[in-house]
Amino acid sequence: MPVAEETVREALKVVVDPELFVNIVDLGLIYEIKIDEQPEGTSNVQVAMTMTSPACPAGPQLLSQSHAVVQRLDGVGEVDVKLVMEPPWTPDRMTEDARDQLGIF
């Protein structure tokens, strides 16, 4: 059974930005999730994500944690988490929950 995009997105919510204390999904750092079903029944997952700034000191940690949580999902084969900087992240990508948590109105 293929892995659903929503399953991947929910799993990524456990990855929290250590400076902002908000998960990377609600921050709007996840740009794209691609799932490619494999003949043996697994799904390869590609995640395109960004950082709040190009010099984000937590970047390597967030990439590593994202890879790890997706890899642990049942039915997942290969995982590729790519850092992209285009388009640049802006606060308007955040969910209302993230805005509330950070006190941005």
What are 21-78's pLDDT values in tens digits?
Answer: 999 999 999 999 999 999 989 999 999 999 999 889 999 999 999 999 999 999 999 9
Which residues are CB-neighbours of 96 under 8 A, at least 6 positions away?
none
Q: What is the pTM of this model?
A: 0.92
Cα distance between residue 44 and residue 38, in whole Å: 7
The pLDDT, as a whole number, for residue 104 is: 83
Which phi and psi angles does 59 have, rounded to 5°?
A: -50, -55
**105 has a pLDDT exceeding 80:** no
Q: Tell me the β-bridge partners of 49.
A: 30, 83
For residue 80, which of 12, 31, 33 has the smallest C-alpha distance? 33
The pLDDT, as a whole number, for residue 74 is: 95
The pLDDT, as a whole number, for residue 7 is: 97
- Please indicate whether residue 2 or residue 12 has the higher confidence score (pLDDT): 12
Task: Look at domain 5-91 and name its CATH class.
Answer: alpha beta
The pLDDT, as a whole number, for residue 67 is: 98
Tell me if 9 sits within 8 A of 25, measured CB to CB: yes
